Structure 1
Amino acid sequence: MMKLTRRNAMLSAGAFASAAILPQRSFSDVISANEKVNVAWCGVGNRGPRIIENFERSGIANFVAFCDVDPENKHINATKEKFPKARIFQDWRKMLDEMDKDIDAVVVLVPDHSHFPISMAAMAAGKPVYTEKPLARTFQEIELLMAAEKKYKVATQMGNQGHSGDNYFQFDAWLQSGVIQDVTHVDAYMNKWRRWHPWGDVKAMPTGESAPATMDWELWHSATPQHAFSKKFHPGNWRGWYQHGTGCFGDWGAHILDTIHQFLDLGLPEKVSATTLIQPNDLVYPLASTINFQFPERSGMPAMDIDWYDGVENLPPMPEEFAGRTYDAGTPGKFIYGKDTVFQGGSHSTTLEILSKEKRESLEANGLQTSFGKHSDHYENFLRACRGDEQTRSPFSVSGPLSQVLVLGCIAQRLGGELDFDRQSKRFTNSDRANELLADHPRKGWEQYYAL
């Protein structure tokens, strides 16, 4: 197994490796069907303890190590008490090196800008990886993650947990039975307030604060340029910055568009347009945005487009079939316009609703499927894939192209205007600046993670 070293040459920003759906490696020769999976955990702040509980609920996870750049934060201190036998690390590189033989799988629950190197290093070491959404912050990094999945043949899962819920099985069943057909347009929306909205017109990176004494602030940056500490970055505020996060769209698009993207075989768009940008900024995401994505005909399905709406007052248009209902701007979701049928859906595992009462009653009279069985949840699905019992539902080969759509939208939010995209070459055809944003150049000492 090839190890990542600083001697590996860095893959150039334009030389994207191709990614394809791959047969996932069976670990049944390493982990028996009755054994627990030894899990190493990266990132224990904020939502960490809750996601740990979700993995723990499966009954087949054994937590052997926890890693956080601040190993004395309140979340990891509580985790230490709960799992006293687990080893604690500050640097994930040291954890992977020292515990290689004791780790069966790695969970990556860190800020977006750090997903990539940890996931790449874990896969190169032969470890199955569960990585939060979106897979990475740049198009190139996602492309490399998909290529690494193919090369190293390990089980992978992106953390869009609704992709193992009822909406996943409903969308597949309704598409196969013809309930969903000829979709030509989707309006997707997330209109909740976001942390960076009150910051106004940000002119420069903030300065003047000190990082916690127990925190490795340099390591927190991962492969991105280092800057001064501020509470506007950590904890939790990193998502609003182009350097560190993917904004509202990267955060929520993976929970709202996932089944649409997979089952309608969308792949990559041929045009991305920022039709509305409220308070655009060079450093942080807009206060509100509307982004249009155009997709060509695919697999016998008609060309279609998606409009994404974020911002507290930037609401989508309401379908005629929605008349008389109350729109809840605090609940993210989508309207799907198919042949003779309009559907409303929420986020995560929320099932679709047929808006027309007459259409719904007609389909119900003809045996509309409304029960979709019992299945492992997203966390157990990953752990079972580590043992060779199941295939993951959101492997990088599936979640990677979805994540790439998300980061293309982030580029449109940053630049504005219409961007034409060549689905074959995976390059923009009308913007050199947009092509530059497809990849970042890692800072010194992190180049090796960009080589397969």
Structure 2
Amino acid sequence: MNPKKSLHSFPSRRTFIKTSALAAAAFSLPRFSIGQAGGSANGRINVACIGIGNRGFFAVSELMKDPRVNLVAFCDVDQVLVDETYKRGAELKKTAGLGGADLTTVPLFRDYREMIARLGDKIDAVTVSTPDHHHYPAAMTAINSGKHVYVEKPLTHSVGEARALRDAAKRKGIISQMGNQGRATEGIRLIKEWTDAGVLGDVRDVHAWSPEFPERYFTRPASLPLSRETPPATLDWDLWCGPAEKRPYHPSIAPVKWRGWWNFGNGMLGDWACHTLDAPFWALALGAPGSVEAKVSGVSDEISPATAEVTYRFPARGKRPPVVLTWFEGAGMKPPTPKRWEDDPKKPGLPERGMFMLGGKNTLFAPIGRPDSPRLLGAAVMEEFKKNRPTATIPRVVGGPMKEWIDAIAKTGPMPGSNFEYSVPLSEMVLLGVVAVRTGRRIEWDAKAGKITNDPSLNKYIKVTARDGWKV
């Protein structure tokens, strides 16, 4: 394999399968050791990365810095993004003083099914950093082969897929992690501890909000359908579509603007709610909603709406009261300003993202869409609270979610906090909201049966059918 091949001479799938087979045969060569000079694969965790461009570089970079890890294979369908990762990897090696070979020496595959089948037990663990529609088949293929998996949020493209991953991981004894940075932070632990200590009182309402996608991640088309464009020679469009129904290529979709297209992404709710709603989901033990309804600016089975207001209703849980959680998304979509906001000098107005947990005693605010730097509203209230904070009761994570996952695989740490037993119910809550936004409908949910009960026709969004050749 020649990693310096011109971008305009993108290899065919057959060529990549052939070169990947040669790479697999040469697997034991130490030149594939990344992260330390002259490293050997012996005793290290062999990790393959599916999707290495854009967000995928987070996984690559974190693994490069971990001396316990041996990067053994990459998979990506876009040579432009691959080359960007090669460049960023070289810069990281220089700035961080990392030894070992260049990323260009790691075997590169186009099809993760081929990668896992050919390398087999030479892979211990797999990261998945693809568009949402590939999360399930990539992760399930890895799990079925006995690989530990790290899958970026949202965990899957549908509720049925998420449940299937959880069940398979449990059967196989897989160490799993959904990539959700906030779950490993100090902030989310503070929110949970303050809630458990009764600082907020009974919480009956949660408000969360997020703006429209930035132009980089989604361009709202002026009209539909899009024109038919020719894919660049550097992109394998058929593999990019993968399990989703194949449609004509357009640069308004790939490689990075897919999030607002229902066939491939989950809209703003799917993109951000796993961050923003993680803290109340955990702290309040929300579990499954009984119903979800959405008011949207326009219903489309192709693209997410410009604005939406989504209302989740959760039943009482033991001694905890029912909760109404409202999500606002899009330009100008924000909740009412809560009591005590005006006397807080830090914020003259609501920021573009945030979350409120409105309790009978106090209101908690978490800024920027993740559970970082939480505080109680009211400057005087927060100052008084600082004098007598609740004692820390939850173990802290040293490092981020990737290190937490590797620690568990290496048996030097506990099961990751966002393992599938936790992250599947969180993802399910989010994805049910996605169904409501996509259809503009109210849905009633039977969590035990895994079905929408008030309109069974909507269950097609719960259990989706993959394109021929992609069923796992």
TM-score by length of 1: 0.85
TM-aligned CA deviation for residue 334 of structure 1:
0.3
**Secondary structure, aligned partner of 1:189:** strand
Per the TM alignment, residue 251 of structure 1 is displaced from its structure 2 partner at its CA by 0.5
SS in 2 for 1:430: coil
Say whether 1:65 aligns with 2:88: no
Among 423, 433, 436, the alignment partner of 1:409 is 433
Q: What is the deviation of 1:309?
A: 0.5
Which digits, 9 at most, give the CA deviation of each residue in 1:190-219, with x for residues without a partner? 124444875356433x23211122322111
Judge conservation of contact 1:419–1:428 (CA < 8 Å) in 2: yes
How far does residue 415 in structure 1 lie from its aligned partner after superposition? 1.4
By how many angstroms is 1:378 displaced?
A: 0.9
CA distance in 2, matches of 1:50, 1:172: 27
Question: Given residue 412 of structure 2, which amino acid in structure 1 is its aligned partner?
Answer: D
Match of 1:238 in 2: 258
Q: Mean Cα displacement is larger for which, 96-105 or 194-203?
A: 194-203
Q: Give 5+ residue unaligned stretches, structure 2.
A: 1-41, 91-101
CA deviations 1:124-159 (Å, max 9, x no partner) are 111110001011111111111111111111100001
Q: CA deviation at 1:269?
A: 0.6
Q: How does 1:386-425 map to 2 (within 5 A)?
A: 386-390=409-413, 391-425=415-449
SS of the residue 2:127 aligns to = strand
Q: Check if 1:78 corresponds to 2:72.
A: no
Whether the 8 Å contact between 1:135 and 1:158 is mirrored in structure 2 is: yes
Question: After the TM superposition, which residues 251-270 of structure 1 pair with which residues of structure 2 at under 5 Å, given as runs?
Answer: 251-270=271-290
Give the C-alpha shift of residue 84 in structure 1. 3.9
Q: Is the 8 A contact 1:66 1:89 kept in 2?
A: yes
Segment of structure 1 superposing worse, 132-141 or 217-226: 217-226
Q: Kindly indicate whether residue 399 of structure 2 is the aligned counterpart of residue 380 of structure 1.
A: no
- RMSD of Structure 2 on Structure 1 (CA): 2.2
Per the alignment, residue 14 of structure 2 pairs with none
* Correspondence 1:188-337 to 2 at 5 A: 188-195=208-215, 199-200=220-221, 202-204=223-225, 206-274=226-294, 276-324=295-343, 325-330=347-352, 332-337=353-358
Which residue identity lines up with residue 90 of structure 1 in the other structure? R
Q: Relative CO higher for 1 or 2, CA cutoff 8 Å, sep ≥ 6?
A: 1
Q: Report if the CA contact (8 A) 1:201-1:281 is conserved.
A: no
Q: Say if 1:214 and 1:367 are closer, same or farther in 2 by CA, change over 3 A.
A: closer
Tell me what 2:174 maps to: 154
Larger Cα Rg: Structure 1 or Structure 2?
Answer: 2
Distance 2:296 2:321 in 1: 29
Which residue of 132, 136, 148 corresponds with 2:156? 136
TM-score with structure 2 setting the length: 0.82
- 1:29-82 deviation line (CA, Å, top 9, x unaligned): xxxxx9432210011222222442233334433211111012454324436863
Partner in structure 1 of residue 386 of structure 2: 364
1:439 aligned partner: 463
2:300, 2:439 within 8 Å by CA — same for their partners in 1? no
Aligned to 1:25: none
Report the Cα offset of residue 233 of structure 1. 1.3
Distance 2:47 2:107 in 1: 11
* Higher mean C-alpha displacement, 418-427 vs 380-389: 418-427
Mapped partners of 1:403, 1:120: distance in 2: 16
Separation of aligned partners in 1, 2:362 and 2:445 = 30
Q: Distance in 2 between matches of 1:348 and 1:52?
A: 23
Question: Structure 1 220/432 Cα, relative in aligned 2: closer, same or farther at 3 Å?
Answer: same
| Number of equivalenced pairs | 412
Give the unaligned 5+ runs of structure 1: 1-33
Name the % identity. 29
